[in-house]
Amino acid sequence: MNCTHCNKPLNESQTHGNLKSCPLCSSQNGREHVFYSNPSAFGRSTKRITKNHPNGDQSYCYACRGAKDSPYSPILCSQKQE
């Protein structure tokens, strides 16, 4: 399923400046990408460093990876500043 705002797949992370979408949050939303501040809402790991992801950003946000409380406010794709 694609985002109704940008038409890119909801299950693929998108970046916009210091924002990154969580593919699970976006898929659960079902309409738009759900962005959070990156890396603060995602975290990084040296084990995730690749040529395409040199910073080692985690794919899913902390909440989707099991954190009980997430202090991060979601920003929908249609709400981010272009």
Q: Is residue 6 part of a domain?
A: no
Per-chain mean pLDDT for the chain: 92
- 70 is a domain residue: yes
Q: Which distant-in-sequence residues (6+ apart) come within 8 Å of 32 by Cβ?
A: 3, 4, 5, 10, 26, 76, 77, 78
Q: What is the pLDDT of residues 37-68, one digit of tens each?
A: 999 999 999 998 999 888 999 999 999 998 77
For residue 53, the enclosing domain spans: 15-79
Q: What pTM was computed for the model?
A: 0.89
Q: Quick one: pLDDT band at residue 19, thresholds 50, 70, 90? A: very high
Residue 1 in any domain: the answer is no
Report pLDDT for 72. Answer: 87
- The answer as to whether 10 is a domain residue is no
% pLDDT > 90, the chain = 79
Number of domains making up the chain: 1
